[in-house]
Amino acid sequence: MILTVTLNTALDLTYRVRSLRPHASHRVSEVIERPGGKGVNVARVLAALGHEVTVTGFAGGGTGRGVRERLADVPGLTDALVPVAGATRRTIAVVDELSGDTTQLNEPGPLIAPAEWGAFLDRYEELLAGASAVALCGSLPPGVPVGAYANLVRAARAAGVPVLLDTSGEPLRRAVAARPDLIKPNADELAELTGSHEPLRATQDARRRGAHAVVASLGPEGLLAVTPEGRWRAAPPARVLGNPTGAGDSAVAGLLSGLVEGLTWPDRLTRAVALSAATVRAPAAGEFDPAVYEELRGRVAVTGVVSAA
C-alpha cells in the first residue's frame, strides 16, 4: 500500500469560460468538481496506475463530506482522512478556452486544533506500519506546526518507509534537514530554498541540505533529477497547452510508483513527465488523459547531465 498525506485537502472546482476578462461577467460553459489537494491528486493517479493507495489528512464540514463521498468512488483508494470541526477548503481553477491559460484561486483551509493534530499523528503512525512508501504533499492548514513535515519525515524513516516530500517555504526548509528520500520542488520553490536560480546548482545544493535525491520541476521544460545514481533531464517532446493544475502531482505519482516498482531513474522520469503532460491535457484538475500518456511515454527525452557549468 502507498500512503499519501494531504494535510490541506480541498474540493477542486474547475470552471471553463470562453475568455477570461478582468472586471467582466462570464458565462461558465462547464463546471467539474473533484476531491483535491496535492496528495489526493497523487493518490488518484496512483490508483489509476493500478496501485493500492491510502489517503490521510484532514476533512471537515460540508466540503469535507463532498470530498469523502467522491473518494469513495475511486477504485483502489482507501479513505483514512481524520475528521475536523472546520470546513475543508475549496480551490477554483478558471480555464480560459481561448488562450488555454488557467487562473487559480486557493482558500487557506480550516484551523486545526491541537487535539485534531494529535489524532492525525496517531493515525499516521498506524498507517506507516502497512505502507511501502509515503508521499507528504502540499501546504499546511492553519494550526499545524511549521515543522510538521520534518516530524513526519523522521517518523517514516524510523519505520523504514521511503518518503517523498512535495511542499514549499519554511515547511520544506525544515523537512529537508530531516533527510527525506526524495523532494520534488518547482523552480521557484527550489530557488527559495537554496537562494540559487540556476536549476542544477540549486538542485545539488538541496541534496547537500539533506535530501537523498531531488527532482526539480521546470514547468514546460520537464524535470531535472540529481540522485546518488546520477543526474538527468527529462522533457516532453513539445510544449503542452491546457490546465496545469495537478500536473506536478501526477509527476509525483510517476516518481513514487516507479520507486515502489523498482524502475530505473530514467524510467521513473519518463513516466513522471508523460503523466504530467497528460494531466495538462485533461479537462479537470488532478486527472490525466490515458491516450496522451501512452502516446507521450515513447517520446519523452531523457539525457544525462554532466556538471553545473
The residues carrying an active-site annotation are 249
C-alpha cell at 68: 469523502
**Residue 207, CA atoms < 13 Å, CB-side half-sphere:** 18
**Residue 273, CA atoms < 13 Å, CB-side half-sphere:** 33
Can you give the three-state secondary structure of the chain, one letter per residue?
CEEEEECCCEEEEEEEECCCCCCCCCCEEEEEEEEECHHHHHHHHHHHCCCCEEEEEEEEHHHHHHHHHHHCCCCCEEECCEEECCCCEEEEEEEECCCCCEEEEECCCCCCCHHHHHHHHHHHHHHHCCCCEEEEECCCCCCCCCCHHHHHHHHHHHCCCCEEEECCHHHHHHHHCCCCCEECCEHHHHHHHHCCCCHHHHHHHHHHCCCCEEEEECHHHCEEEEECCEEEEEECCCCCCCCCCCHHHHHHHHHHHHHHHCCCHHHHHHHHHHHHHHHHHCCCCCCCCHHHHHHHHCCCEEEECCCCC
Contact between residue 169 and residue 194 where contact means Cβ atoms under 8 Å apart: no
Contact between residue 93 and residue 243 where contact means Cβ atoms under 8 Å apart: yes
Q: Which amino acid is at 300?
A: V
C-alpha cell at 292: 496522451
Contact between residue 276 and residue 45 where contact means Cβ atoms under 8 Å apart: no
